[in-house]
Amino acid sequence: MAPLPNAGLVQNSLQLYRYLLRCCKQLPEENIRQHYRHAIRQSFKVHADENDPERIQQIIKRAIEDADWVMNK
């Protein structure tokens, strides 16, 4: 299962959040979807005060890579 094709269009945290939640909808089991939705929300709360644009881009890139790994698992 591949991630959604619009990963390259993700430029900010709101777009990333939406992208990751859409990826969750493709997961096969409800309990797995709930787990990853919860993990996504928690990650956003942890990084909510991040101000450095370079660090934000690193986080976005890593989150997309992690989503790719989960979807191919």
Q: Assess if residue 28 is contained within a domain.
A: yes
- What percentage of residues in the chain have a pLDDT greater than 90? 66
Model confidence at 1: pLDDT above 70 = no
Tokens of 31: 């309990």
Instruction: Report the pLDDT value the prediction gives residue 10, as an integer from 0 to 100.
Output: 84
Q: Assess if residue 3 is contained within a domain.
A: no
Instruction: Report the pLDDT value the prediction gives residue 11, as an integer from 0 to 100.
Output: 84
Model confidence band, residue 54 (pLDDT cutoffs 50, 70, 90): very high
Q: Assess if residue 35 is contained within a domain.
A: yes
Model confidence at 6: pLDDT above 90 = no
Q: Assess if residue 46 is contained within a domain.
A: yes
70 in Cβ contact with 23 (< 8 Å): yes
Give the domain extent around 55: 12-72
Q: Assess if residue 66 is contained within a domain.
A: yes
Distances (CA, A) of 10 to 30, 33, 47, 60, 73: 25, 21, 17, 8, 22
Q: Assess if residue 6 is contained within a domain.
A: no
Q: How many domains does the chain have?
A: 1
In terms of residues, how long is the chain? 73
